[in-house]
Amino acid sequence: MNNGLMEIPEELRQMIDVEQEKDKKVTDFAKKRNCIMLAVIASYVPRKISPSESEYASLGISEEFGIETVLSQISESVKECERSVFLLLNSMGGSLQSSYKTAKAIRDSFKKITVFVPHMALSGGTVVALAGDNIVMGRMSQLSPLDVQLSLPAGFPVSANDFLRCKARLDEFFKDRKVESVPYSWKVLADNLDGTIIENVTSAQETACQYVTEILKKSKYPHPNDMARALVYNLPSHGFVIDYERAKKLDFKVKQYTEDIEAWEIMRYWLAKYIAKATDRHFIRFAIPKKESSETKSKKS
């Protein structure tokens, strides 16, 4: 069974979770609005790998191939001038490279993109959201800063900004002090700052700026460089909540859900179908509105 998709290799199908949406409520709405519907959903329930290990969905290789599969299907089915999309997005992020490539592929494939974030589009998910012409947000909607996350040997992520802020604090502390006069703890901290790591961190942040700037330019934001630097460098922490009001202040192109209640309720309904299903990949679902043939129209008339 190919779930309405063009033929793809079985090996690839095992990597991705892509299906054409069959739910009549969603497909009827797509037809009513004459708009492609696309959902990229990370569940909040992880897939059990072992009795003690679980894995959550993360933007990565699976999502790259999944999005590519859907976009190929759409390009075969819909004329370029008619490619408007309502994108439902729920993601906790993932690889910077995959997030950028996904955002770029979506931006390049549609004439108009309206992104709906009923709950979360964090980190790399925010990069994808910025590919939209508008981002629709509600009471619980959350976007996030775009500073690069680094894995420490202990196994937990740390913001690249933490390294840069630590270095800046040390530079300031040692500026007017002799090394022999400073407390031991400060000496140890300074001695353990590896210059190679600092360079790596700096280049990672600058790469993020470049990627985000490119997506913002493609989405026709007026000051993409300034906005990208603010999102990568200037916010307090990676977990900082960017809700509707903050998004507005940061110059995101956001709309309140109240401007289209019908679409918002459909997106919340669609999200609820998948949000509690255990998986380690994003669910990627789509619906393409079917146009009536001239024969069908003539029968109705």
Model pTM score? 0.89
> Using CA atoms, how far apart are residues 20 and 90, in angstroms rounded to an integer?
18
Does residue 166 share a domain with residue 287? Answer: no
SS3 11: helix
Share the mean pLDDT of the chain: 89
Q: Is residue 229 part of a domain?
A: no
Tell me, yes or no, whether 157 and 284 share the same domain.
Answer: no
Regarding whether 124 and 28 lie in a shared domain, the answer is yes
User: What is the rounded radius of gyration, in angstroms, for the C-alpha atoms of the chain?
Assistant: 22
- The CATH number that applies at residue 43 is 3.90.226
Domain count, the chain: 2
Domain assignment present for residue 226? The answer is no
Partners of 75 in beta bridges = none
The reply to whether 64 falls in a domain is yes
- Residue 143's nearest CA partner among 181, 91, 185 is 91
Specify whether 207 is located in the same domain as 293.
Answer: no
Boundaries of domain holding 279? 10-144+241-300
Considering the domain boundaries, does residue 232 fall inside one? no
Claim to verify: residue 48 and residue 106 sit in the same structural domain:
yes
Task: Mark whether 154 and 62 lie in a shared domain.
Answer: no
pLDDT < 70 positions in the chain: 1-9, 152-155, 291-301
Residues 76 and 137 in one domain: yes
Cα gap 153→16, rounded to integer Å: 30
> Do 130 and 160 fall within a single domain?
no
86 in any annotated domain: yes
For the stretch 26-66, pLDDT in tens is 999 999 999 999 999 999 999 998 888 999 999 999 999 99
Q: Which residue has the tokens 């993109």?
A: 113
CA–CA distance from 210 to each of 9, 78, 156, 159 (Å)? 34, 32, 25, 18
pLDDT digits (tens, 9 = 90+) for 233-257: 999 999 999 999 999 999 999 999 9
Same domain, 114 and 190: no
Q: Which residues share a beta bridge with 286?
A: 20, 38
Is 154 within a domain?
yes
Same domain, 136 and 167: no
Q: What is the pLDDT of residue 5?
A: 57
Q: Which of 191, 220, 249 is the last residue of a domain?
A: 220
Shared-domain flag, residues 14 and 127:
yes
How far is C-alpha 45 from the chain's CA centre?
18
| CA dist., res. 261 & res. 259, Å (int) | 6
Chain centroid offset of residue 117 CA: 10
Q: Are 154 and 57 in the same domain? A: no
Residue 192 lies in a domain: yes
Residue type present at position 61: I
Instruction: Supply the pLDDT for residue 301.
Output: 46
Task: Please give the biggest Cα pair distance in the chain.
Answer: 93
Report yes or no: 141 and 256 within 8 Å, Cβ to Cβ: no
Domain end, chosen from 220, 253, 283, is at 220
Dist CA 188 CA 52 (whole Å): 36
